[in-house]
Structure 1
Amino acid sequence: MTSKKKKIANTAFLLLVFALTLYSVFKGEDFRAVMRAILKVNPWYILPGGLGVIIFIWGESIIIWYMFRTLKIHEKRWTCFLYSCVGFFFSAITPSASGGQPMQIYYMRKNKIPIPVSTLVLMIVTITYKSVLVVIGLFVAFFQRGFVHRYLEGILPVFYLGVALNVGCCIAMSVLAFHPALAKWIMMKCLKLLERLRILKYKPERTRRLSASMDQYNATAVYLRTHGKVIINVLAITFLQRFALFFVTWFVYKAFGLHGAHMYDVVMLQAVVSVSVDMLPLPGGMGISENLFLIIFRGVFTAGLLLPGMVLSRGIAYYIQLLLCAGLTLFAHLRIGRDPAVE
């Protein structure tokens, strides 16, 4: 598929999912009543919710900036913030967030950052990002049984699937990072099997490219072995980054003037939504995130405020983030690699 056709297909898929999301969420609901409830919220609680989105994006940019410095690459913090916006924007509009990192590598390359270096940095960002979700998912599944039975009975299959997919992803990335030789052997064997089964045609060039790409992970293994303190710091920043976004729902809850639910429950329920949808092949978890919210927060938001709460929480954490990152991605496209002040 050509690049142009792929963009058209991704855009059409995104619009279709968005339309189905609106239909599934608002079918049979009074949209005007929802908007009236949202307009009555306390704006002073919305401000820290919006700040949580900024911290979420800023957190990844600080990690990128910090890791670049350990590799003797001196990028400005603002430029790294633009890299993060590019990543979040393309992750939000592509299935399984598959478009984020390739586009980040593209813009880093425009600033003359070698592809092996950007691949190394973003590989570690992904490992730590997924690791935080795995820790949260396993903690809830094994040590919060009362919490699970109280709130998650209606979504347990989706939750456990999300945990399993994130664990599998972390294991696969850890093999790539810590055992690159084993990973290369597995991938080469899989390629030969696909060729033997005639699923793929034998192409020496494909074999060469796969071998070369797998060799890049040697650098990740070396970096992880020699920068243990850096990895611990990155994990700590990633935890703060992730929870900054989870707290958006708590501020939305307070903005409606609601009381009774504990902060821990609200924040961890939002974390459960993220764990459940992160690996699903939907742009930004669109559709499934909204419906999971309506199921598990039913006992948190009072009658009549559940749907407005979901609209406002999801609107800040995803849709406003999407619009912000879209604008800054456009800015990055126009300036990165062209304006010395941005490099």
Structure 2
Amino acid sequence: MEGLKNKKSQFIGITIMAVLMVFTVSQVLKGESIDSIVTALRSVKPIYILTGIGMMLLYASLEGVNIWLIIRGLKYRTSILKCIGYGFVGFYFSSITPSASGGQPAQVYYMKKDGISVTASSLSLMLILFAHQLVVVIYALIGLLTNTNIGGSQLANTILLAFGFITNAILLIGIILLVYWPKLVFKILNFFGLLLHRSRIIKNKEKIEKKISSSVEEYERGAIYMRNNPILLLKVTALTLVQISLLYAVPYVVYRGFGLSGYTIMDLILMQAILNIAVSSLPLPGGVGASESLFLSMFMVFYGKKLLVPGMLLTRISNFYSVLVISGIISLIMYLWPSKKEVREGI
């Protein structure tokens, strides 16, 4: 039944994404000259697109390297190739679920299938989430403070930026609180659980309290591990910085592919950082629709009116759609790959 449920969820997510993609493309191309867009697309040498896709494949692979570092630190014998596979699993399921909510549960499932305990996999993903949120929020903060070219004068853009930044910052602060003040987090969550119970949104008060307690205990174990292994956390954060930089640099590769110049790689990286944080919390699979729309308003200054739509199309093909297909194929291979139970060393 669980397998059928997962397949149904995947089908729904992919269907929603496909509908959004068709709607978005139709809206973007409305009133545009298809011939001029095709001509612009053909002017870009394939090496630039392949470079962008290659950067994204490395992006997903580096998450796998981070998983491998942490799992090895927890004394599991596992191959780096398998862990890179978990990185692609995370990319695929994050892309087809709203707010990227399905990525980590899928990774936990795949790791459990290979004999890695839920505690170990959850711990590794918590450390990676902390590093990811830290880098993403800092990048976006720098972008917001230094960028005067944001297409954010429109009310909708401003609201998206504010919502995305606040939700990501809250998540980062929440993780920090879990590391240093887990009991405070428990009290806060219990308070909101009580409010939901009194509002009759949640009927079983004891069940939600037990679930909150269990979750906090699990994350508290992760917090202790983080405090006791600062060097490992530093390595994971450094790799995450490289990983996120690769993701954010894809628009610059496309920009150079059109033969454009005048702006630095950091200009486009910081704009992409702002775009990503704006759409990351929206309940849209892969941010489809919102990412394309915001790109058109934020990147006008870089591409100009003539190359804006072709630039958006090539950027999204490079940093999302092509990698989505590749990660889906790898996820299927990982699912069909015979499970080899990993064992712990010396424990």
TM-score (norm 1): 0.91
After superposition, the Cα gap between the structure-2 partners of 1:200 and 1:303, relative to the gap in structure 1 and judged at 3 Å, is closer
Confirm or deny: 8 A CA contact 1:107 1:336 kept in the other structure. Answer: no
User: Deviation at 1:90?
Assistant: 0.6
Of 99, 103, 109, which residue of structure 2 is paired with 1:100?
Answer: 103
1:302 and 1:193 map into 2 onto residues whose CA distance is 50
Of 73, 87, 90, which residue of structure 1 is paired with 2:93?
Answer: 90
Q: Which amino acid aligns with 1:264?
A: M
Deviations 1:40-74 (A, max 9, x none): 21223233222211211111111111111111112
User: Deviation at 1:214?
Assistant: 2.2
2:42 and 2:66 map into 1 onto residues whose CA distance is 36
Are residue 324 (structure 1) and residue 337 (structure 2) matched? no
After superposition, the Cα gap between the structure-2 partners of 1:160 and 1:204, relative to the gap in structure 1 and judged at 3 Å, is closer
Pairs within 5 Å for 1:14-93: 14-93=17-96
2:150 and 2:108 map into 1 onto residues whose CA distance is 43
Q: Which residue of 2 aligns with 1:166?
A: 168
Are residue 250 (structure 1) and residue 270 (structure 2) matched? no
Q: Which residue of 1 aligns with 2:300?
A: 298
Structure 2: gaps (5+ residues)? 343-347
Q: Which residue of 1 aligns with 2:144?
A: 141
Name the stretch that deviates more: 20-29 or 235-244.
Answer: 20-29
Aligned residues: 337
Are residue 119 (structure 1) and residue 122 (structure 2) matched? yes
1:10 and 1:45 map into 2 onto residues whose CA distance is 30
1:141 and 1:307 map into 2 onto residues whose CA distance is 24
Are residue 278 (structure 1) and residue 280 (structure 2) matched? yes
Q: Which residue of 2 aligns with 1:218?
A: 220
Confirm or deny: 8 A CA contact 1:45 1:255 kept in the other structure. Answer: yes
Q: Which amino acid aligns with 1:104?
A: Q
2:223 and 2:232 map into 1 onto residues whose CA distance is 14
**Percent identity over the alignment?**
33
After superposition, the Cα gap between the structure-2 partners of 1:150 and 1:184, relative to the gap in structure 1 and judged at 3 Å, is closer
Note the aligned Cα RMSD (angstroms).
Answer: 2.2
Name the stretch that deviates more: 282-291 or 156-165.
Answer: 156-165
After superposition, the Cα gap between the structure-2 partners of 1:233 and 1:199, relative to the gap in structure 1 and judged at 3 Å, is same
1:281 and 1:11 map into 2 onto residues whose CA distance is 14
2:300 and 2:152 map into 1 onto residues whose CA distance is 11
Deviations 1:176-227 (A, max 9, x none): 3332222222223332332233222226444433322321112111011101
TM-score (norm 2): 0.90
After superposition, the Cα gap between the structure-2 partners of 1:235 and 1:10, relative to the gap in structure 1 and judged at 3 Å, is same
Structure 1: gaps (5+ residues)? none
Confirm or deny: 8 A CA contact 1:90 1:97 kept in the other structure. Answer: yes
